Amino acid sequence: MKHPRLDPARFFGEVGGEPVALFRLRHASGMEVAVCNLGAKVLQILVPDRDGVRGDVALGYDSLAALQAGAPSMGAFIGRVAGRIAQARYTLDGTAYTLGANAGPHSIHGGPNGSRHRVFSAHQDTPDALTLRLRFEPSVDRHPGILDLTLSYRLTDGPTLVVEHEAVAVCPASPASPASFAPHIFFNLDGPGEHLVDEHRLQVFADRLLAADADNVATGERMLLDGHALDLRQPRRLGDLPDIDHAYELAGPPDGGLRHVAQTHSPASGRTLDVWTTEPVMQVYTAGALGTGATPDIGKHGVVHRPRAGLCLEPQQYPNAVNCPAFPLLRVAANQPYRARTEYRFGTRD
């Protein structure tokens, strides 16, 4: 199915006094990506199917008004801390920090003022790349330290969407800040519309699953995948599995090197997506809660978003690590920047 490009004119506006716009990235391979600087949200990805017909493989919105009314994580770049922080609080180096709760008693995806709600500054030098920047301050999100985030979206051969970020501490005297950033793109290799992702086959190259409590907050325990219902070490049809919203500890040496961590395939369109990352953990989400609010969630071209209409593959740091001594905790301090790279590589097969 062909999908029309998003119209940048429908995204011009201001949020909190900051200018908002839609940016289009284009590559010689024919791949195109549309990004709104509100939340650094990836709202459209155009790549070919097995017959060479280019179509959209990302859920999103077609105007600024629809984006603001829709799911806040749709396509966003999540930070300063991805995932849930238990009871919206933690203690580091003897100092207690209380955050804004926005998931019951917990904080999720950076809290009420996380990056998904904020306007990034954006600069596009070339047709195939976009650089976005955002400052995180304690007065805004209640975490310690001031961080400057530089985020890059680039299109390369493959076709591939490369997502790179660097977070640096602004003030050497400030406390080191916990940080975990994650791309939160909702993929559907058959296109946003009537198709769910139930027919997609997904494989995740993981060592263990991270345990979570009844509120889906990580507890610090690791679970073996042998015999587990959500063992994805071999390709599995998503429709044969319950809803997934779980963090997988990824296989491979923890040296920060780029490695292949997941692949998914749609037999209907023939499209494939392979995920490569330098991050240690990946949250897999089959969007079981999408479109379950009191009002319909209206996406591009009038599509009503439904549960399991998208698949999120979110490389990141360990969730709730600030409250889980068993998990490595990444902290950004002077001379300790946080850099990571994730690649979403698209292809086709019969």
Q: Which residues are catalytic?
A: 184, 314
Beta bridge partners, 150, equal 133, 166
Write out the two tokens for 277.
Answer: 């990352």
291 and 307 in contact (C-beta within 8 Å)?
Answer: yes
31 CB-contact burial (10 Å; exposed 0-12 / middle 13-18 / buried 19+): buried
The 3-class SS string of the chain reads CCCCCCCHHHHCEEECCEEECEEEEECCCCCEEEEECECCEEEEEEEECCCCCEEECECCCCCHHHHHHCCCCCCEEECCECCEEHHHEEEECCEEEECCCCECCEEECCCCCCHHHCECEEECCCCCEEEEEEEECHHHHCCCCCEEEEEEEEEECCCEEEEEEEEEECCCCCCCEECECEEECCECCCCCCCCCCCCCEEEECEEEEEEECCCCCEEEEEEECCCCCCCCCCCEEHHHCCCCEEEEEECCCCCCCCEEEEEEECCCCCEEEEEEECCCEEEEECCCCCCCCCCCCECHHHCECCCCCCEEEEEECCCCHHHCCCCCCCEEECCECEEEEEEEEEEECC
Instruction: Compute the distance between CA of residue 87 and CA of residue 111 in angstroms, rounded to an integer.
Output: 12
CA dihedral sign, ordered 214, 215, 220, 222: positive
